[in-house]
Amino acid sequence: MNMINKKRFGIVAAITLAVVVAVSCFGIVTAFGSNERDIVRFGKSDYEIVIPENANDGEKNGAKELQLFFKEATGIKLPIVTDAGKSVGGKYFSLGNTSFVPDSVKDSVSGLSSCGYVIKTVGNTVFLLGPSGNGTLYSVYGYLARDFGFEYYFTDVYSLKKGVGDLALTDFDVTVEPDLDMMTYPSAGIVMQNSANQMRFNALSYEGVFISANGTTKTHNLWWIMPNPTKDEEFGETHDKWYAEGSELPTACFTAHGDPEAYEEMQNYFLEVIKSGIAKSSAYVFQIAQPDNCGFCRCPHCIAASDSYGGNSGIMIKFCNDLCAKVYDWFKTQEGAPYERDFKLVFLAYQSIKDAPSGNIKCDDNVGVYIAFDGFYSSYGHECSANNEFYNNVNDWSKKTHVFISWIYDVNFFHYLYPYDSSSYKQDYYRLMKQVGVIAFNDEGQVENETNMTAWCNLKNYITSKLRWDVNANVELLTREFFKNCYKDAWEIMYNVYSECRAHWSVLKYKVEKSQGAFGDEKSLGSIFGGLDRSEYWGLTMLQSWISQFKNAIKAIEPLKSSDKAAYDKAYMMICGEIISPMAILIELYRWEFSEQEFKDIVAEFKSYVADSRVGFSAGGMESTMSSYYKELSLKYEGLGI
């Protein structure tokens, strides 16, 4: 063998040995250096994110979210492609109903609620699929949680493994069904007014759940369905039997005063509104909801029907049963067939029609109630006798329908700046919602605060998003993880203040109950409209201790300024959001404990923290801005420059 051949032999032998070692250690290696059963190997990946050619919004958003967080975890940006020309067996993340989804995967999705999903590995492909675009989107977060520990806590605050090197392909066989299928508005302002938060907290817009009524999905939609007689007098006079008699405010008469012809015309009018909304939406719930405080029709026919059915709500059941039957008849026609879906018709069981009827009338299979009870004392739960009416009413409704949507309350409307501890009721009520089969719910919090919230409402929002999936989740464990990820090195301080606040609320409730009104009755403390601004509720020393601890928390995160400025800014903003709560209480209730200059300094410090917190509203209602709040304080403490 000459020298050249020896060199060639040596080179070939070396290459052969390298290949043998590579194959023996890693399996078959592709041109990019990745294993047949690896997603990432040697900093490379052959994988693509595949979506259908006619992908819906959930599939498109899911692809973008997977691409974003996969790159953050591994440094690799996976391409997003359509399924055109793709076939079974490729190295894909297949999102949604791609052309090559195997029947076995489709069968796994069959029967799931709309937001459920599956994650299944078939060959080299990871299939991420739900019955709807929303389900597919949520399957992406489910996958990210399993491979990268993804968990979302607050705006752009999340846990995610980073610097991931080699990533083996897992043989996934996961099916997830949420305990409560759809979570929607109103909820926290940071969710309602931020599209990324909507996706990552798994919340849906109203449009994602409700079919519009003449262009609106607002809850109190009666005057969008039909004309308000005070604004359209001519229509009201022409269709006078459609409108109520003797009600506190204008509303509809859902018996049309007992006139069969007027009733049929009214039904057909509502039907046309529903048909128009269905044609413009993929949602499947239509609601009929009267305005606040309007009462109910007192015409002789309604009074007689109410007596016959065992309540005003029986009249609504009859009207909705008849109307829903018309919708399903329309689905059977050539015109309606393209829009057929699992349509549900609900009415707002609220105020004058909140109680289930005592008579024999029941909702048809696709008719139900949107139950909202503003008299529920959310800071108490089961232990409060005042809540018995609500729990009994839900139980009574469960005998009349299996279609429930629920509106619940998580905040004191008049006092965003005061703690309102709903933690004792939340999990119990979510379990009740699962028990009766709620298909969609909203948990109303600080709806106006779009950037940050106060009085522990950011934590409430996170817990809400988790209980929706598992009503038996370990809330204490979730709470600790929230504090660790949001407040970083200050988490123990912040957790301690939160624990003290909860303990104080428990003691306060005990005192209220035992003192029989010395602090105001049970209702005023527990109600969502309760008067929390009483010095008897909030001791000065306790408030000063909380403020001091919050300031220590700000000091504790100081090193983050140089090591992770973005994390520092977010933690600082969230701490500011909490410190303004006890400071506001102190300012409102304890002015005369301080000299004029001391008080001015406290107010100036408070306003500085408010600005840094970016909390914009002090109470419910679009007029309750922090600017209007300052004006109220200025009038209260004239001359102090508030």
455's tokens: 């009085």
Q: How confident is the model at residue 521 (pLDDT cuts 50, 70, 90)?
A: low
Residue written as tokens 């304080």? 633
Task: Check pLDDT > 80 for residue 34.
Answer: no
Of 56-65, 360-369, 516-525, 533-542, least confident by mean pLDDT is: 516-525
Task: Check pLDDT > 90 for residue 641.
Answer: no
> Which of the 8 DSSP states describes residue 8?
H
pLDDT of residue 524: 73
Task: Check pLDDT > 70 for residue 35.
Answer: no
pLDDT of residue 364: 97
Strands 367-372, 344-349: pairing is parallel
Using alpha carbons, list the distances in angstroms from residue 26 to 21, 34, 245, 437, 552.
8, 9, 80, 49, 51
Q: How confident is the model at residue 18 (pLDDT cuts 50, 70, 90)?
A: very low
3 state DSSP class of 571: helix
Which tens digits make up the pLDDT trace of 146-172? 999 999 999 999 999 999 999 999 999
Of 155-169, 256-270, 283-297, least confident by mean pLDDT is: 283-297
Extended strands (E) in 214-323: 285-288
Distance CA 551, CA 572 (A): 10
pLDDT of residue 362: 97
pLDDT of residue 5: 44
Task: Check pLDDT > 80 for residue 460.
Answer: yes
Q: How confident is the model at residue 384 (pLDDT cuts 50, 70, 90)?
A: confident
pLDDT of residue 188: 94
**What average pLDDT does the structure give for the chain?**
90
pLDDT of residue 17: 43
Distance CA 412, CA 409 (A): 8
Task: Check pLDDT > 70 for residue 56.
Answer: yes
Comparing 14 with 564, the larger pLDDT belongs to 564
Distance CA 551, CA 533 (A): 23
Name the residue among 279, 344, 324, 284 with its Cα closest to residue 115.
Answer: 284
Q: How confident is the model at residue 133 (pLDDT cuts 50, 70, 90)?
A: very high
pLDDT of residue 251: 92
Task: Check pLDDT > 50 for residue 3.
Answer: no
pLDDT of residue 116: 97
Distance CA 23, CA 238 (A): 84
pLDDT of residue 622: 84
Q: Which neighbouring-strand residues pair with 95? A: 128
Of 154-168, 412-426, 482-496, 510-524, least confident by mean pLDDT is: 510-524
| Helix (H), strand (E) at residue 294 | none
What angle (nearest 5°) sits at the alpha carbon of residue 406, between those of residues 116 and 451?
A: 80
pLDDT of residue 515: 62
Q: How confident is the model at residue 7 (pLDDT cuts 50, 70, 90)?
A: very low
Name the residue among 42, 67, 271 with its Cα closest to residue 165.
Answer: 42
Which tens digits make up the pLDDT trace of 243-252? 999 877 889 9
pLDDT of residue 10: 47
% of the chain exceeding 90 in pLDDT: 78
Distance CA 197, CA 201 (A): 6
Which tens digits make up the pLDDT trace of 553-608? 999 999 999 999 999 999 999 999 999 999 999 999 999 999 999 999 999 999 99
- Give every CB contact of residue 548 below 8 A, 6+ residues apart in sequence: none
Tell me the whole-structure pTM to 2 decimals.
0.90
% of the chain exceeding 70 in pLDDT: 92
CA-only gyration radius of the chain, Å: 29
Q: Counting every residue, how long is the chain?
A: 642
Which tens digits make up the pLDDT trace of 181-226? 999 988 899 999 999 999 999 999 888 899 999 999 988 999 999 9
Q: How confident is the model at residue 305 (pLDDT cuts 50, 70, 90)?
A: very high
pLDDT of residue 380: 79
Over range 527-556, report the average pLDDT: 94
Which tens digits make up the pLDDT trace of 336-348? 999 999 999 999 9
Task: Check pLDDT > 90 for residue 642.
Answer: no
Comparing 2 with 559, the larger pLDDT belongs to 559
Residue written as tokens 């190997």? 41
What is the per-residue DSSP string for 37-92?
Answer: TEEEBTTB---EEEE-TT--HHHHHHHHHHHHHHHHHHS--PPEEESTT--TTSSE
